[in-house]
Each structure stands twice: as structure tokens, then as C-alpha cells.
Amino acid sequence: MVELWPGGGWYTKIIAPVVRGRGTYYAAHVDPDSKVEMLRLSVQKYQTMLDSSPELYDEVQMTVLMPPEQLEIAPAGSVDLVVSFRSVHNWMAFDMQDDVMQAVYNALKPGGVFGVVEHRGIEGQEQNPRASTGYVSVAAMIAMAEKAGLQFESASEVNANLTDTKDYPDGVWSLPPRLRGGEQDQQKYLDIGESDRFTLRFVKPAE
């Protein structure tokens, strides 16, 4: 399986120990040699996490997902599952979502699954192409996945939050855990909690 842009490894800590000994866990991170210091440090932090517990993470294989040049997240047609947690808005911000979706399609086996969690935008509103508020509509997500050849299969409300009104000064980053506004209206945002999120399942058609 592949985890896209695992950041500091929050989900890796949960999933990688389950995969260990049963299959290959690819962590498709940002470029460790990037000219952007923040990106280099992100990869270093993740690698430090892996190194700290080899009994759990020694089988994790690092790859690079940095469109448009670095797109081989795993050997072509080799993985059963690709997952993404709240990264779609970042890809849209840099207009790299089509390249990422194609990388996902290429890595999956026929019948393989792409699972994605993202901050859910208000359906029916026009989608900002750069997802500047951090929110992405379900329709926009389905469209970009289908453009790459993936088929929408199902949705879950496990990450829903109906108290999220999605109309904040700093977009989704007004909410926890970021609380970008600082002390201003902090309790209001803490009471709302983390964002409303969609959880979608796509499949690569069988040949």
C-alpha cells in the first residue's frame, strides 16, 4: 500500500505496524532534497520517527511524490491500496492534483482501491480551483479522480462534523488543531471541533 504525503507520520504510526510482515508500505513523501527548507525538514522529521522504532517501521519504504517530475510512488500496477489524508487541498493549491491522481492510478493494481479523506466543502458552491479555504467539494474530488480513470465506489460519514459551517476568516485553519486566529474566538472554534470531512473510496477498474 501507499500513503501519500504522510507528513509527520500520524497515520503511519497506526497503519504501518499492521502492514509490517504482510506487505509493503510505501510512504510517498515530499522531496528530501527540495530547495524549500520546510519540505526537507518535514521528511527529516518523518525519517526520525521511522528510525526511532525499527521494530515497527523498519519495513517502510520511502518514495517521493513531487509533481511534475517525481511521480513514481510505487512500482506500476503493484499496490492494492493508496490512501490520502487531508492533502488534496495542498495539491490543488499548486495545480498538481491531476499529476497526483495519475500517479495513484499508475501505482494501483486493477481492482485496487484509492481511499481519500479531505475537508468537505459546501456542495453546490463553485469550487475554488486552488482550494484557498482548505475545503474541497465531493463533486470536485470525484471529478479529479475520474479524470485519471478511477471509479467512485462509495462514501462514509465516519469523519463528518455537521457543526462545521465552513465560513471562517482563516478557512479550515481557523479550526483546531491549527487555530490560526489565536485567542480570537478560540473557544468558538474549539467547540466546533475539527473540520467536516468526506471519506471516499475509489477503485481502479479491473482489466
Task: List pLDDT tens digits, range 92-147.
Answer: 999 999 999 999 999 999 999 999 999 999 999 999 999 999 999 999 999 999 99
Spatial separation of the C-alpha atoms in residues 178 and 188, rounded to whole Å: 14
Structural domains counted in the chain: 1
Q: Answer for the pair 26, 61: CB distance below 8 angstroms, yes or no.
A: yes
Q: Is the pLDDT of residue 207 over 90?
A: no
| The pLDDT value given to residue 159 | 97
Radius of gyration of the chain from its Cα atoms, rounded to whole angstroms:
17
In a domain, 148, yes or no: yes
Nearest to 5 by CA among 108, 109, 117, 106: 117
In a domain, 185, yes or no: no
Phi and psi at 25, nearest 5°, equal: -110, 110
Q: What is the CATH number of the domain that holds 92?
A: 3.40.50.150
The pairing of beta strand 197-203 with beta strand 151-156: antiparallel
In a domain, 168, yes or no: no
Place of cell 467512485: 152
| The pLDDT value given to residue 189 | 97
| The pLDDT value given to residue 139 | 97
Q: What is the pLDDT of residues 133-183, one digit of tens each?
A: 999 999 999 999 999 999 999 999 999 999 999 999 999 999 999 999 998
| DSSP annotation of 94 | T
pTM, whole model, 2 decimals? 0.95
In a domain, 173, yes or no: no
| Residue-range definition of the domain harbouring residue 150 | 2-163+195-203
| The pLDDT value given to residue 47 | 97
| Sign of CA pseudo-dihedral 193, 81, 6, 149 | negative
Rounded to an integer, the average pLDDT of 19-34 is: 96
| DSSP annotation of 139 | H
In a domain, 169, yes or no: no
Spatial separation of the C-alpha atoms in residues 41 and 21, rounded to whole Å: 29
CA–CA distance from 47 to each of 39, 51, 53, 148, 154 (Å)?
Answer: 13, 6, 11, 30, 33
Residue of higher predicted confidence among 207 and 193: 193
In a domain, 186, yes or no: no
Q: Answer for the pair 172, 195: CB distance below 8 angstroms, yes or no.
A: yes
Rounded to an integer, the average pLDDT of 11-36 is: 96
Residue 135: CB atoms within 10 Å? 24
Q: What is the pLDDT of residues 37-87, one digit of tens each?
A: 999 999 999 999 999 999 999 999 999 999 999 999 999 999 999 999 999
In a domain, 139, yes or no: yes
